[in-house]
Amino acid sequence: MFKTNLFALLSLLLASIGSANGQTEYTSQTDIAYYSPAQIQDEYQNSQCKLDLYYPTNSKNFKTVVWFHSGGLRGGYKAIPDELKQQGIAVVAVGYRLHPKVQNPTYIEDAAAATAWVFNNIEKFAGLTKQIYLAGHSAGGYLTSMLGLDKTWLAKHKIDANQLAGLFAFSGHAVTHFTVREEQGIADTQLVVDEYAPLFHVRKDAPPLWLVTGDRELEMLGRYEENALLWRIMQVVGHTQTKIFELDGFHHGNMVHPAYSIMLEHLKR
């Protein structure tokens, strides 16, 4: 008990010093379960479905980025990107269940449940519910687009996807994800646009959407081209707030670093 109280006192002291110096101070909370105990069905869900929260402690009404990691829906782990730290925003890194232990649509369901947790809790940390953004790289970009364009996933949590302030999809699939196709016995070179494709859910009233890919000659399996098609069809249906960026000279793995800068520039506007 003494150690806990001493740590809390030290944290408050450091925060007050930072506030007095006009500096924004940050803290983190890790491994927060976003499903209730009654919703946990097995140990894998219990261990995997957690999030980390990084947020300012001496400022209010900040924006929050919900970050979904890459890994093809079959690998990767939650982590707060270093590039998003100390930027005046909160960042939520989401862990979600992965193939082959689960199959579609569990990945999307987990992403929606984590996003719902943020909507239901970020005000407790002084953040704004009307300033919640989704973002992710590769598989995370796919989850970002699916949640933002297909309103059914967040609606299950009584949240309108149009409450999202914006979507930042970095090199995400616009067609049905290759892991989802594999689960159906479809080759990764056979493109599919079904209900699990962001392209299937284009709509005029969606939140602002930023699509960022690497160089079309260096990216994965036509990733730039499918994102360009999503951008074009969003224009056709009248969604004027879809932007697309192709990062010349960057491949799928390293495009995320300049993509962070694009996102932060828009968040600061």
Region 3-29: mean pLDDT is: 57
Residue 4 has pLDDT above 50, yes or no: no
In order, the DSSP letters of 145-185 are HHHHH-THHHHTTT--GGGS-EEEEES--SSS-HHHHHHTT
Q: Quote the crossing angle between the two packed helices 139-149 and 106-121, to the nearest 10°.
A: 70
Going by pLDDT thresholds of 50, 70 and 90, the confidence category of residue 221 is confident
Strand-pairing partners, residue 127, are 62
Q: How far apart are CA 77 and CA 95, in angstroms?
A: 6
The single residue listed with the structure tokens 């970002």 is 144
- Give the pLDDT score at 13: 43
How far CA 55 is from CA of 39, 61, 231, 235, in Å, comes to 27, 11, 32, 35
Question: What is the pTM assigned to this prediction?
Answer: 0.91
Residue 193 has pLDDT above 70, yes or no: yes
- Give the pLDDT score at 12: 40
Q: Which residue has the higher pLDDT, 18 or 82?
A: 82
Q: Which two tokens stand for residue 176?
A: 């049905």
Contact 135, 144 (CB under 8 A): yes
Q: How do residues 135-148 score in pLDDT, each as one tens digit? A: 999 999 999 999 99
- Give the pLDDT score at 188: 85
13-27, 44-58, 94-108: least confidently modelled range: 13-27
Q: Which residue has the higher pLDDT, 269 or 29?
A: 29
Q: Which fold has domain 24-267?
A: Rossmann fold (3.40.50)
- Give the pLDDT score at 14: 42
Region 221-240: mean pLDDT is: 97
Residue 77 has pLDDT above 60, yes or no: yes
Residue 234 has pLDDT above 90, yes or no: yes
Dmax (CA) of the chain? 63
Residues 6+ apart with CB under 8 A from 148: 134, 161, 164, 167, 206, 207, 209
10-24, 31-45, 175-189: least confidently modelled range: 10-24
Coil, helix or strand at residue 204: coil
Residue 128 has pLDDT above 50, yes or no: yes
